[in-house]
Amino acid sequence: MTNTRKSLSPIIVLFAICLVVSFLLAGVYAVTKDRIAKAEEEALLNATKQVLQTADTFTPLSQKGIEGYTGHKDGVLVGYVFINAVKGYGGSVTSIVGIDCEGRVVGVSVSAPDETPGLGANVTKESFLSQFLTKPDGYFSLGENVEAQTGATYSSRAVVDGINMALSSYRQIHQGGNADE
């Protein structure tokens, strides 16, 4: 019995420690989840304002299957903001794309937190993103009208795909009428 008690003692202590830590972690989550959600919402709003600077108010799109916003200035539609996540090299690359009413990309913000620093993460730099701005309506393609970041082909392709998805969403809205005007 003594050997059994000795071998169970560390298991019981470890179980008790895990139980206490689990409750503490759950408590911290409960206290911080609203703050985290608010911070994420503010970051999205700031990115939305950044990519469609002509708008002063944003309304969520009601188009099924499309994540984004319509942007208005003094109640008049000035453009759209689309949000797309595409798999890059290290993880998800989220593109927030502003498109004006003529179908031109007027702003791009990219979040690539899991991409390799110094390589894939370079797709968030203005020098790469500026390739997409105010070009005529059309699709973008690596090697044709977009130069990939050196050493970051997967990440570059994820951004291009995210922007092309935004342009497709814009076309989908305009083929079915001007949604959310």
Question: 20 lies in a domain?
Answer: no
Longest Cα–Cα distance in the chain: 81
Question: 102 lies in a domain?
Answer: yes
Query: Looking at the whole model, is its pTM more than 0.85?
Result: no
> How many domains, in total, are found in the chain?
1
Predicted pLDDT of residue 129? 86
Taken in order 155, 161, 166, 167, the sign of the CA dihedral is: positive
Question: 180 lies in a domain?
Answer: no
CA–CA dist 81, 34 (Å, integer): 25
CA–CA dist 60, 105 (Å, integer): 19
DSSP letter, residue 59: E
Predicted pLDDT of residue 121? 66
Predicted pLDDT of residue 69? 92
* HEC sequence for 112-165: CCCCCCCCHHHHHCHHHHHHHCCCCCCCCCECCCECCCCCCHHHHHHHHHHHHH
What are the CA-CA distances from residue 141 to residues 125, 132, 138, 153 (Å)?
18, 11, 10, 12
Predicted pLDDT of residue 99? 93
Domain enclosing residue 104, as ranges: 52-175
Question: 110 lies in a domain?
Answer: yes
Q: Which of 115, 74, 79, 63 is nearest to 94 (CA)?
A: 115
List of the chain residues with pLDDT < 70:
1-6, 112-121, 134, 136-137, 176-181
Predicted pLDDT of residue 33? 85
* DSSP 3-state of 54: coil
Question: 25 lies in a domain?
Answer: no
Angle, CA of 118, 124 and 126, to the nearest 5°: 110
Predicted pLDDT of residue 180? 46
Q: Which residue has the tokens 């007027």?
A: 106
Question: 26 lies in a domain?
Answer: no
Question: 5 lies in a domain?
Answer: no
